[in-house]
């Protein structure tokens, strides 16, 4: 990304440097104006008519730039480091957003980026991470209702739903009842680690899987044709026999499957996930050797997509434990081989 957008970043960083130089220059002029020494007044950048009459030896003797002063002092701004950090953050995040957003009109503004972060964090933190015991029991109850309903329709349909969840596929729930679709998604979210959940239960339009694998929207929202074969679309609505219903209890709702993604063959799915994993590992300094983990825990080819998706949401501490285990196994194998060689 840095190489492909070299000109953009060069212009952006040059603009930041130019603004810093302008701030330092304006403060330097103000310092010279407030100085009582008449000799140093002639070094003012706005007094070139007087400076030209001075010898060249005057400047190193009477005016020496103090490089020990902090940047906040030179620019006369205590928050200058915060400002620079924010400007560089927005500069880098602009290209990142442009690289991942398929449909994006123009460069995102700072307000737009901040609002997106706030909405994503609030939706996940308040809905899933801070669950209390009654809420957890409610989600598990709703999960049992979902499993019973789908198993009643077809066991293969329930298997496809669970497979779509555990491999990171997108689940789209359509309903005019925001609370109902939110509890439906939260119930399915109990099947995954928190780091694997990207929740958007009240989206005004369709967003792709890399933004939200659990997506809730209104009934009139259309799914793009190019991704229609890759999503699992479920429509929920109140039962006709129910006169009074609670949106938090899914027993009062009926489920209709509008579209279920066909389960790919193991070879095609495994190749896709493997290529995706290799691309991710290419951009990381250190990663987990998935093939060795599969051998250690004796997983089959059908379990590989699940393992690849789940390890992306696990904590760094758990990953470090796995890395240490693998490295320990390498050392022990080398010792055994060395002993056999002797």
Residues 172-198 have pLDDT tens digits of 999 888 888 888 998 898 888 777 788
Rounded to the nearest 10 degrees, what angle do helices 316-341 and 290-297 cross at?
80
pLDDT at residue 81 in the model: 87
Map out the domains of the chain as residue ranges: 6-108, 126-259, 266-341
286 or 312, higher pLDDT: 312
Helix (H, G, I), strand (E, B) or coil at 172: strand
CA distance 330 to 240: 62
At which residue do the structure tokens 């119930």 appear?
187
Taking the mean position of all CA atoms in its chain, how far away is CA 201?
A: 17
215 or 120, higher pLDDT: 215
Residues 6+ apart with CB under 8 A from 213: 168, 169, 170, 171, 196, 197, 198
Contact call for residues 168 and 196 (beta carbons, < 8 A)? yes
Per-residue pLDDT of 86-122, as tens digits, reads 888 888 877 776 665 544 444 555 555 555 544 444 4
Per-residue pLDDT of 36-57, as tens digits, reads 554 444 444 444 454 555 454 4
341 or 290, higher pLDDT: 290
CATH class of the 126-259 domain in this structure: alpha beta
Taking all residues of the chain, what is their mean pLDDT, rounded to a whole number?
Answer: 72
Residues 6+ apart with CB under 8 A from 283: none
With residue 52 as reference, give the H or E element that holds it.
Answer: none
34 or 338, higher pLDDT: 34
Query: Residue 150 above 70 pLDDT?
Result: yes
pLDDT at residue 211 in the model: 83
Phi/psi at 238 (nearest 5 deg)? Answer: -65, 150
């Amino acid at each position: 990304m840095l190489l492909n957008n070299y000109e953009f970043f060069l212009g952006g960083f040059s603009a930041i440097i130019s603004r810093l130089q302008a701030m330092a220059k304006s403060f330097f002029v103000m310092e010279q104006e407030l100085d009582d020494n008449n000799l140093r007044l002639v070094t003012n950048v706005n007094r070139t008519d007087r400076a030209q009459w001075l010898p060249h030896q005057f400047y190193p003797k009477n005016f020496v730039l103090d490089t020990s002063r902090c940047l906040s002092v030179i620019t006369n701004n205590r928050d200058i480091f915060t400002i620079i950090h924010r400007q560089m953050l927005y500069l880098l995040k602009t290209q990142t957003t442009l690289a991942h957003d398929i449909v994006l009109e123009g460069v995102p503004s700072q307000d737009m980026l901040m609002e997106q972060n706030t909405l994503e964090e609030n939706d996940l933190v308040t809905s899933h991470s801070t669950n209390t015991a009654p809420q957890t029991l409610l989600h598990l109850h709703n999960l049992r209702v979902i499993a019973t309903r789908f198993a009643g329709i077809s066991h293969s349909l329930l298997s496809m739903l669970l497979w779509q969840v555990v491999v990171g596929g997108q689940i789209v729930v359509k309903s005019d009842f925001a609370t109902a679709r939110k509890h439906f998604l939260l119930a399915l979210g109990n099947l995954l680690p928190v780091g694997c959940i990207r929740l958007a239960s009240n989206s005004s339009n369709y967003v792709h899987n890399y933004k939200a694998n659990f997506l809730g929207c209104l009934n009139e929202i259309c799914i793009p044709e190019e991704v229609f074969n890759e999503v699992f679309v479920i429509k929920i609505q109140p039962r006709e026999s129910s006169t009074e219903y609670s949106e938090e209890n899914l027993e009062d709702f009926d489920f209709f499957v509008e579209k279920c993604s066909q389960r790919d063959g193991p070879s095609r799915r495994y190749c896709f996930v493997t290529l995706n994993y290799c691309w991710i590992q290419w951009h990381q300094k250190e990663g987990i050797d998935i093939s060795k983990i599969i051998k250690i825990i004796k997983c089959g080819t059908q379990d590989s997509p699940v393992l690849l998706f789940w390890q992306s949401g696990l904590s760094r501490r758990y990953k470090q434990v796995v890395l240490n285990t693998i490295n320990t196994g390498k050392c022990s194998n080398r010792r055994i081989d060395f002993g056999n060689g002797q």
